[in-house]
Amino acid sequence: AQKITQTQPGMFVQEKEAVTLDCTYDTSDQSYGLFWYKQPSSGEMIFLIYQGSYDEQNATEGRYSLNFQKARKSANLVISASQLGDSAMYFCAMRPAGGTSYGKLTFGQGTILTVHP
Amino acid sequence: SQTIHQWPATLVQPVGSPLSLECTVEGTSNPNLYWYRQAAGRGLQLLFYSVGIGQISSEVPQNLSASRPQDRQFILSSKKLLLSDSGFYLCAWSEEGVEQYFGPGTRLTVT
């Protein structure tokens, strides 16, 4: 079974500063994928970034980067130059890479990020 | 480009009434489809997923059922709603080996 833990219920950051949202995971799979999604108050889940377990380099997508430390089973999201529009709930998720569970995402409990002007 | 639709956007239903939520995807063929539920302030829980027409897998025992009558249509149903069925229901689609894309969701309140 897979498990995602997000230990920060809420985070605050000043506009234009960087912020790190923590995510640790537990799995017995050798191959898996890690995701971060953003959920604004409207409710829609927005895909941000993906990291494969065998990817040697950390994933980056614009202002988002994923700090992947496989030995520590952590996949923290780093948002650089925070903007007011970044205020939202952020979810870390993982899925196995194959087998009958392929495609099924397991989500963490989420972190509410508030960006102050 | 691909788009995913869900309706209705909000729904208030009495306990014991039936439920039908619909999800449709445009711009892709034979997608994997998923239904998730999100309780207030919580993460998402996978309810059902489907890899093709008529192929439904249930993740948790519950009062709900799902059907996929067409390639890009996924329906979530219940014959008799419970108070515990209240929540935010999200439909998602994916292609093989790619991330999941979510619809706008349906906020269900059972009274």
Helix-, strand-, coil-residue percentages of chain A, each rounded to 5: 5, 50, 45
Cα of A109 to nearest chain B Cα, Å: 4
- Tell me A84's DSSP state: G
d(CA A50, CA A48): 7
Q: Contacts of residue B100 in chain A, CB cutoff 8 Å?
A: 35, 47, 103, 105
pLDDT in tens, chain A (117 residues): 789 999 999 999 999 999 999 999 999 888 899 999 999 998 999 999 999 999 889 999 999 999 999 999 999 999 999 999 999 999 999 988 765 555 688 999 999 999 999
The pLDDT value given to residue A31: 86
Please tell me which residue of chain A has the smallest CA distance to B107.
A43
The pLDDT value given to residue A102: 57
Residue among A42, A47, A109 minimizing CB distance to B43: A109
The pLDDT value given to residue A30: 86
Buried-state track A71-101, b at ≥16 Cβ within 10 A, e below 16: eeebbbbbbeebeeebbbbbbbbbbbbeeeb
CB contact under 8 A, B46 and A104: yes
Task: Please tell me if residue A107 touches chain B, with a CB cutoff of 8 Å.
Answer: yes
The pLDDT value given to residue B97: 59
Please tell me which residue of chain B has the smallest CA distance to A4.
B43
d(CA B93, CA A105): 12
The pLDDT value given to residue A99: 56
The region that residue B56 occupies, defined by phi over 0 for left and psi between -120 and 50 for alpha, beta otherwise, is beta
B68: part of which helix (H) or strand (E)?
strand B65-70
pLDDT in tens, chain B (111 residues): 889 999 999 999 999 999 999 999 999 999 999 999 998 878 899 999 998 999 998 887 678 999 999 999 999 999 999 999 999 999 999 887 568 899 999 999 999
Nearest to B89 by CA among B25, B28, B46, B56: B46
Cα of B54 to nearest chain A Cα, Å: 17
